[in-house]
A and B are shown apart, each in its own frame.
Chain A
Amino acid sequence: MNNINIWQDSQSINTVVANMAIELRAVLNAKHIENPIIVGIHTGGIWVAQSLYKLLQLQTTLGILDIAFYRDDFTKIGLHPVVRPSQLPEDIDERHIILVDDILHTGRTIRAALNALFDYGRPSSVLLAVLAARNGRELPIAPDIVGWHANIPSQQYLKLTGPHPLQLIIT
């Protein structure tokens, strides 16, 4: 891989995820949320969610969400060629959800993820945690926990590669 494209290496990602876990714990305490369900969005979001899950020592199994069936570009580009099953650990009615993704950009993925989530039930609340939030929002979506804020040229893309090692690259 071309090194000049690496924006953050795995070591700094680990540090930032550890800080996200601390911040998340503080938010959960402040809101008196016990036993939340953490849900990662395919694929990068799951990697970040797995780290947070371990650090927070949560009880409920990690959930995974594929948003291919909820994308708003289906009529433009067709079905995403790689679709993976979503798995939510249990009934999400009246539960507190921590939704995790790698990069927050336009906000369209999160819109799709929220719609997908609500087809499983009616959670009490949803918190959004992202490894990196960059400029370019197109929808009114704001994260609760952010690893990095990134301001990069609009024609460039931030991407998490992994799972070993996790790297944030700019393409």
Chain B
Amino acid sequence: MNNTHNLQLDHNGRLRHFLTIEGLSQQLLTEILNTAAGFTGVTERSVKKVPLCRGKVVVNLFFETSTRTRTTFELAAKRLSADVLNFNAGISATTKGETLLDTLRNLEAMHCDMFVVRHEASGAAHFFAQHAAPNVSILNAGDGRHSHPTQAMLDMFTIRQHKGDFTNLKVAIVGDIQHSRVARSQILALNTLGVPEIRLVGPRTLIPAAAESLGVKIYYDLCAGIQDVDVIIMLRLQKERMATGLLPSEHEYFRLFGLTQERLRYAHPNAIVMHPGPINRGVEMSSEVADGSSSVILQQVSYGIAVRMAIIAMALGNNEAIS
């Protein structure tokens, strides 16, 4: 995917597709965050939408189920006044043998302007972007283990809202790094935005051997890993991993890597705790932490709408501009 970054930008260097954080500049990521800040107030008004994308059609093309991501994309598009079509691949023609490309062509023929794609195969959104018509934008809502860039951007937005600046932060990402598309995108975004210290914390079986090449520090002990950090990003533990023998049991995982109020004391006193959801209470963290004063997990959900509004608006505006 060497030309991914070219594919994402138009000839003016502005966002056209949003597939991965890779290859996007600090300036562009900051523009997304600033634009999202502009959208945060919209929900507090008497009319909770702006007319920006009136007449546009956004298709949620989900080949993998996800309630939260799909709902926030849908709400984001609706708050921009776009029409939204939810295309659930489970009940669609793909189960009857239609190829991805045929699916895309059919939806394009219905004059849709943007596809929000989630697929279990890495590179699916990229594939769509390569074959999309010139006036159609593709957003990646998660592809295999590759990336989940809008989740990473809403995490960056949450961090900025609480910490103001990225350039003197210590950030720990805790949990199943190996299987996490979110972690990959987060590391890229944190690096691009200038976070000086990124730590990966988890059991040896769940941290990829090559992770150090990403410019991160690796810890196999939770307390040491979160010592003095400003931000703790917990990852969801995919329960299906237990079956593969990578983890002994949920109980054992919680005993070693579960974030409890006691362990949280190792972090900076003003540290924030984040989680992409849904939380496995008593596995990744205790309820006490999840509902505690350091937790910003529900704010992440709210900010997710503003950040997705920003990305939809930036990409939709630009593809129209060149067509």
Residue ranges of A at the interface with B (Cβ–Cβ < 8 Å): 66, 68-70, 74-79, 81-87, 93, 115-116, 118-121
Contacts and interface: CB of A to CB of B under 8 A. Distances in A.
Given A69-B52, A74-B52, A121-B46, A85 B317 contact: no
A68 B320 CA distance: 16
B77 to A, nearest CB: 14
B317 A70 contact: no
B14 A78 contact: yes
A54 to B, nearest CB: 25
B51 A79 contact: no
Contacts of A93: 46
Contacts of A85: 37-38, 40-41
A79 B320 CA distance: 11
Interface in B154-204: none
B314 A79 contact: yes
Contact of B50 (A77, A84, A119): A119
28 contacts: A68-B38, A69-B39, A69-B51, A69-B52, A69-B313, A74-B52, A74-B320, A75-B320, A75-B321, A78-B314, A78-B320, A78-B321, A79-B313, A79-B314, A79-B317, A81-B14, A81-B31, A84-B34, A84-B37, A84-B38, A85-B41, A87-B41, A115-B51, A116-B50, A118-B47, A119-B45, A119-B46, A120-B45
Instruction: Please provide the 4 A-B residue pairs with the shortest distance between their CB atoms, ordered closest to farther.
Output: A78-B317, A83-B38, A119-B47, A69-B50
A83 B314 CA distance: 11
Contacts of B321: 75-78
B280 interface: no
Interface string B236-267: 00000000000000000000000000000000
Interface residues of B, number: 25
A11 B191 CA distance: 47
A79 B52 contact: yes
B38 A66 contact: yes
A66 B45 CA distance: 14
Nearest to B81: A69
A148 B34 CA distance: 34
Contact of A79 (B35, B40, B42, B47): B35
A84 to B, nearest CB: 6
Contacts of A83: 34-35, 37-38, 310
A120 B50 CA distance: 11
Contacts of A82: 34
A74 B51 CA distance: 10
A70 B318 contact: no
Given A66-B38, A79-B35, A83-B38, A74 B45 contact: no
Interface in B265-323: 310, 313-314, 317-318, 320-321
Contacts of B313: 69, 79
A86 B41 contact: yes
Looking at A68, A81, A83, A93, the one whose CB has the most chain B CB atoms below 10 A away is A83
A114 B293 CA distance: 40
Looking at B37, B50, B51, B314, the one whose CB has the most chain A CB atoms below 10 A away is B51
B207 to A, nearest CB: 38
Contacts of B318: 78-79
Nearest to B14: A78
A86 B318 CA distance: 23
Nearest to A78: B317
A102 to B, nearest CB: 20
Contacts of A120: 45-47
Interface in B37-71: 37-42, 45-47, 49-53
Looking at A79, A84, A116, A119, the one whose CB has the most chain B CB atoms below 10 A away is A79
Contacts of B53: 74
A75 B317 contact: yes
B323 to A, nearest CB: 10
Contacts of B52: 69-70, 74, 79
Contacts of B317: 74-75, 77-79
A66 B317 CA distance: 17
Contacts of B40: 85
A87 B37 CA distance: 12
A70 B53 CA distance: 10
B285 to A, nearest CB: 32
A150 to B, nearest CB: 30
Contacts of A70: 50-52
Contacts of A78: 14, 314, 317-318, 320-321
Contacts of B51: 69-70, 115
